[in-house]
C-alpha cells in the first residue's frame, strides 16, 4: 500500500510541475518583448511583423517551448516528490491526506535549484533575464556565477535538501538513525548495484582501432575556429594548439580575402576568389549559392574520399551551399530558426532543460544558439565523422564557434581571464546591437577581451580532444592536419571597434593562424612568406595526389612543407556588408552609404525561408566594398567614396596597425600597387572603372516571392 501511495505522490509531483513550469513560462512570454538576432546582431524592429507574416514559424516555436516546459516541469516535480519520500522515510511518517501539500512549495524550489545550476554553467544564456534586469535578479546571477559556481550550487542545494530530509537537533539524529537502519536492510542489493555500476565504469571501452585507408591515400583533417586571432595562439590561452604549432609548419603571414564566415569558407574550399565563386557576404541569394562551385570536398568525394563537416552555430552556412560534403552535421540558418532561437532565449524557466545534453537531444535547434557553443560536442561529432569513414580516406572539417561574438564563454573557461568584480554591461557576453551601444570604457574593453580569451581556451579544449582522438585511432601518421580560422577579430585596437569584415586596416582581422602538419612526413618550421586562403585547396590537392589542373586561382605552398621556399605572392581582400550606418574605423568620408543590414534583408519564402540580401542592394553594396592588396612589406587600401577611389598606403614592417597613411609620400609605389590591385578588382566582370569611380554594370531583378523585412 505504501508503494502505491509513493507512486501517487510522485505522479502528483509530476502533475504539479507540469502545471507550474508551463504557467511560469506563459507568464514570462506575455511580458517578453519579441526580438531576433542575426549572428549575434540585434535587430528589434525586424520582429514587429513576424506574427503577421510568419505564423507557421511562430506556432512551431511556441510548440517547442511549451513541450520543453512540460518536460522540465515533470522532471522537477518528480525530484521534489522523491525528496519528500526520502524525508518521510527518515521520519517514519505515514502518508496522510496532507502529504501532497509540501509539493506546492517544493516544486518551485526544485525548479530554482535546476535553474541556478544551469546558470552557473551557462551564465550568458541567463544574463538577459537576470543580470541585465538589475536588482535582485542581477544579484542572484552574480552570486551564482562568481561566488558559488556549479560546485557551490550543488553543495548549497544538497545542504538544504539534507536539512529538509533530516531536520535539526535531536530530530536530525533520530532521522539519520532511521535512514541508517533502513539502509542496512537494503545494503546487499545496493552493494550489488554499486559494484555493477563501478565495473561498467571501470572496464575500459575498446580503443578505436588503428587503420589506414584501403588505397593508402592521406586523410585530411581541417580544424578551424571562427574569429581566431593569430596572437591568441599562446600557452596562456591555447596550450594545446601551441604544442601542435611547435610540431607543424607555421605560416606566419596567412591572409583571408573576405573576413566573414560564409565567403571565407567558400574561398578556403574552392581555392577561388570571392568575385569568382560569387559568395561575397553572409546573406547570398539562392542563385549565388546554387552555382557549380567545384569545391575541393566535391572533387575529393568524386575520387573516393569520405567527406564530412561538423560544427556548432558558427557552421550554419554549410547546409546552405553545396561544397561536396556527404555528411553535414551542423545547424542551419533560416528565418524559422531565428524565431525559435529567440523564443528559447526569452524563456528562462525552460533554459535549464534547453542547456542540458538532454535538451540538445530533444531540441537539436539549440546547437544553433550563439550563446551556447560547445567545443567538446563539436569534437565528439568530428571524431564520429572520422569513424564513419571506415576504410575510406577522409576529408573532415571541424569548425568551432566559441571565439565568435558574443564570446559566451561557460564556467569552465572563464577563470583566469575575466574580472569577477566587473559589473558592467558585458559581464557575460558581448552582443552587437546595430550601433545602439554606447562606446565601451577601459573596463568594458578589458572584460570583452577577457571573454574572448576564455572563448579561445574553449576552442583549445575542443581542438585538443580531436587531436587526441586522432592519435588514439592511430591516424595521426596518415593524416594531413590543418588548423586555421575563417578570419580574425578586432578588439578595439586603434579605436576601430570590435568584430570583423568592416575594414581592412591592421593585421588582427585579415591575418589568421595557419598550421599544417603532414603526419606522413612531419616537420616543424616557420614560414614568413605571404600565403592566401585561395592557396589552401591547391595545396591539399597536391598533398593527396589529386590532379585538378586549372581548378584553382591560388598556388600550392606544399613546397614549404618539404623545406622548400614559397614564392612571393600578393594577398587581395575585400570587406563584407556593413551591418550599421555608423562604423568605428570607417568614417563617413571613407564609405559609400547604405542602410543597416536589417533594412536590406528579405526572406525567401519559397526557398526554405532563407534570409538573403535583397537584389536591389547588390550593386550598391558591391561597389562600396573596400579592397586591399598586401605584399611582403606594404598594404594598399582602396576605399570608394563620393569623390572617387581613395588610396591609402601602409608600411606593415613598421606600422602593422595601419595608422599612418604614406600615400602622399610614396606616389610611385601607390601607382604600382594600385594597378595590381585594380587588375584583381576588375577581374570581377560586374565592375568597371569610369572617371575614377568603381561602377556596377547592373543586373536584372528577378521576380521573387521574398518577403522584405519591415523598417522601423
Residue 197 in grid coordinates: 555500476
Please, which residues have CB within 8 angstroms of residue 275's CB and are 6 or more apart in sequence? 683, 684, 686
pLDDT digit string, tens, across residues 211-258: 556 678 999 999 999 999 999 999 999 999 999 999 999 999 999 999
Is residue 260 within 8 A of residue 282, CB to CB? The reply is: yes
CA-to-CA distance for 615 and 600, rounded, in angstroms? 9
pLDDT at position 431? 80
Reply yes or no on whether the pLDDT at 33 is more than 50. no
Reply yes or no on whether the pLDDT at 292 is more than 60. yes
Q: What is the dihedral of CA 573, 578, 583, 586, to 10 degrees?
A: 30
| Dihedrals phi, psi of 441, to nearest 5 degrees | -90, -175
Q: List the domains of the chain with CATH numbers.
A: 2-185 (no CATH), 219-312+373-568 (3.40.720.10), 588-708 (3.30.1120.10)
pLDDT at position 2? 60
CA–CA–CA angle 204, 472, 538 (5° rounding): 155
Predicted model pTM:
0.91
Q: How far is CA 556 from the centre of its chain?
A: 29
Percentage of the chain lying above the pLDDT 70 cut: 85
What's the whole-number mean pLDDT along residues 577-599? 90
pLDDT at position 38? 43
Confidence class for position 83, pLDDT limits 50, 70, 90:
confident
pLDDT at position 131? 95
What's the whole-number mean pLDDT along residues 102-110? 89
Confidence class for position 708, pLDDT limits 50, 70, 90:
low
Q: Which residue has the higher pLDDT, 177 or 590?
A: 590
Q: Which residue has the higher pLDDT, 663 or 193?
A: 663
DSSP, res 525: E
Reply yes or no on whether the pLDDT at 350 is more than 50. yes
pLDDT at position 273? 98
- How much is the mean pLDDT over the chain? 87
Distances (CA, A) of 58 to 55, 393, 460, 507, 513: 5, 44, 37, 43, 41
Confidence class for position 422, pLDDT limits 50, 70, 90:
very high
Listed in order, strand segments (DSSP E) in 374-415 are: 394-400
Cα within 13 Å of Cα(238), Cβ side? 27
CA-to-CA distance for 293 and 289, rounded, in angstroms? 9
CA-to-CA distance for 250 and 683, rounded, in angstroms? 31
Reply yes or no on whether the pLDDT at 454 is more than 70. yes
Is residue 612 within 8 A of residue 618, CB to CB? The reply is: no
pLDDT at position 188? 63
pLDDT at position 40? 44
Amino acid at each position: 500500500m505504501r508503494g502505491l501511495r509513493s507512486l501517487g505522490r510522485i505522479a502528483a509531483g509530476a502533475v504539479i510541475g507540469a502545471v507550474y513550469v508551463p504557467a511560469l513560462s506563459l507568464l514570462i512570454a506575455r511580458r517578453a518583448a519579441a526580438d531576433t538576432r542575426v549572428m549575434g546582431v540585434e535587430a528589434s524592429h525586424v520582429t514587429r511583423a513576424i506574427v503577421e507574416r510568419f505564423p507557421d514559424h511562430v506556432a512551431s516555436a511556441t510548440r517547442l517551448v511549451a513541450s520543453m516546459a512540460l518536460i522540465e516541469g515533470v522532471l522537477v516535480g518528480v525530484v521534489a516528490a522523491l525528496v519528500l519520500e526520502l524525508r518521510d522515510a527518515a521520519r517514519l511518517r505515514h502518508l496522510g491526506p496532507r502529504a501532497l501539500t509540501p509539493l506546492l512549495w517544493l516544486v518551485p524550489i526544485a525548479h530554482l535549484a535546476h535553474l541556478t545550476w544551469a546558470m552557473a554553467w551557462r551564465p550568458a544564456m541567463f544574463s538577459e533575464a537576470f543580470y541585465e534586469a538589475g536588482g535582485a535578479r542581477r544579484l542572484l546571477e552574480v552570486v551564482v556565477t562568481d561566488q558559488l559556481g556549479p560546485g557551490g550550487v550543488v553543495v548549497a542545494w544538497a545542504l538544504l535538501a539534507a536539512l529538509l530530509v533530516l531536520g535539526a537537533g535531536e530530530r536530525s539524529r533520530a532521522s539519520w538513525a532511521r535512514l541508517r537502519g533502513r539502509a542496512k536492510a537494503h545494503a546487499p542489493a545496493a552493494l550489488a548495484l554499486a559494484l555493477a555500476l563501478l565495473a561498467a565504469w571501470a572496464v575500459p571501452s575498446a580503443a578505436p582501432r588503428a587503420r589506414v585507408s584501403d588505397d593508402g591515400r592521406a586523410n585530411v583533417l581541417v580544424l578551424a575556429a571562427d574569429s581566431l586571432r593569430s596572437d591568441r595562439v599562446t600557452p596562456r590561452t591555447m596550450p594545446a594548439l601551441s604544442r601542435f604549432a611547435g610540431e607543424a609548419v607555421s605560416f606566419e603571414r596567412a591572409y583571408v580575402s573576405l573576413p566573414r564566415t560564409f565567403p571565407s569558407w567558400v574561398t578556403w574550399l574552392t581555392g577561388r576568389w570571392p568575385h569568382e565563386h560569387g559568395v561575397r557576404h553572409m546573406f547570398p541569394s539562392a542563385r549565388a549559392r546554387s552555382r557549380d562551385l567545384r569545391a575541393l570536398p566535391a572533387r575529393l568525394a568524386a575520387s573516393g574520399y569520405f567527406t564530412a563537416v561538423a560544427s556548432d552555430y558558427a557552421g550554419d552556412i554549410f547546409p546552405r551551399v553545396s561544397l561536396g560534403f556527404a555528411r553535414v552535421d551542423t545547424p542551419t540558418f533560416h528565418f524559422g530558426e531565428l524565431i525559435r532561437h529567440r523564443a528559447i532565449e526569452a524563456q528562462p524557466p525552460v533554459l535549464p532543460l534547453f542547456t542540458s545534453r538532454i535538451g540538445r537531444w530533444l531540441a537539436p535547434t539549440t546547437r544553433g544558439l550563439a550563446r551556447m557553443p560547445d567545443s567538446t560536442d563539436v569534437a565528439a561529432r568530428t571524431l564520429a565523422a572520422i569513424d564513419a569513414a571506415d576504410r575510406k580516406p577522409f576529408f573532415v572539417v571541424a569548425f568551432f564557434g566559441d571565439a565568435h561574438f558574443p564570446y559566451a564563454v561557460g564556467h569552465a573557461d572563464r577563470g583566469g581571464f575575466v574580472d569577477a568584480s566587473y559589473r558592467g554591461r558585458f559581464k557575460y557576453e558581448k552582443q552587437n546591437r546595430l550601433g545602439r551601444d554606447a562606446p565601451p570604457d577601459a573596463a568594458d574593453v578589458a572584460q570583452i577581451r577577457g571573454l574572448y580569451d576564455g572563448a579561445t581556451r574553449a576552442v583549445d579544449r575542443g581542438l585538443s580532444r580531436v587531436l587526441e582522438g586522432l592519435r588514439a585511432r592511430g591516424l595521426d601518421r596518415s593524416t594531413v592536419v590543418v588548423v586555421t580560422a575563417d578570419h580574425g577579430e578586432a578588439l578595439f585596437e586603434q579605436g576601430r571597434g570590435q568584430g570583423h569584415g568592416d575594414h581592412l586596416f591592421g593585421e588582427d582581422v585579415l591575418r589568421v593562424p595557419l598550421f599544417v602538419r603532414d603526419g606522413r612526413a612531419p616537420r616543424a618550421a616557420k614560414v614568413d612568406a605571404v600565403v592566401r586562403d585561395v592557396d589552401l585547396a591547391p595545396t591539399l590537392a597536391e598533398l593527396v595526389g589529386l590532379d585538378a589542373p586549372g581548378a584553382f586561382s591560388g598556388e600550392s605552398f606544399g613546397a614549404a612543407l618539404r623545406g622548400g621556399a614559397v614564392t612571393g605572392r600578393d594577398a587581395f581582400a575585400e570587406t563584407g556588408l556593413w551591418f550599421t550606418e555608423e562604423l568605428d574605423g570607417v568614417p563617413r568620408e571613407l564609405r559609400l552609404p547604405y542602410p543597416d543590414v536589417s533594412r536590406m534583408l528579405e526572406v525567401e519564402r519559397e526557398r526554405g525561408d532563407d534570409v538573403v540580401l535583397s537584389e536591389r542592394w547588390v550593386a550598391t553594396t558591391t561597389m562600396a566594398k573596400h579592397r586591399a592588396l598586401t605584399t611582403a612589406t606594404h598594404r594598399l587600401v582602396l576605399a570608394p567614396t563620393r569623390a572617387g577611389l581613395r588610396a591609402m598606403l601602409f608600411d606593415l614592417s613598421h606600422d602593422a596597425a595601419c595608422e599612418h597613411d604614406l600615400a602622399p609620400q610614396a606616389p610611385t609605389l601607390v601607382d604600382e600597387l594600385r594597378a595590381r590591385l585594380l587588375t584583381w578588382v576588375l577581374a570581377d566582370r560586374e565592375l568597371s572603372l569610369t572617371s575614377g569611380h568603381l561602377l556596377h554594370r547592373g543586373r536584372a531583378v528577378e521576380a521573387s516571392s521574398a518577403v522584405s523585412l519591415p523598417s522601423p
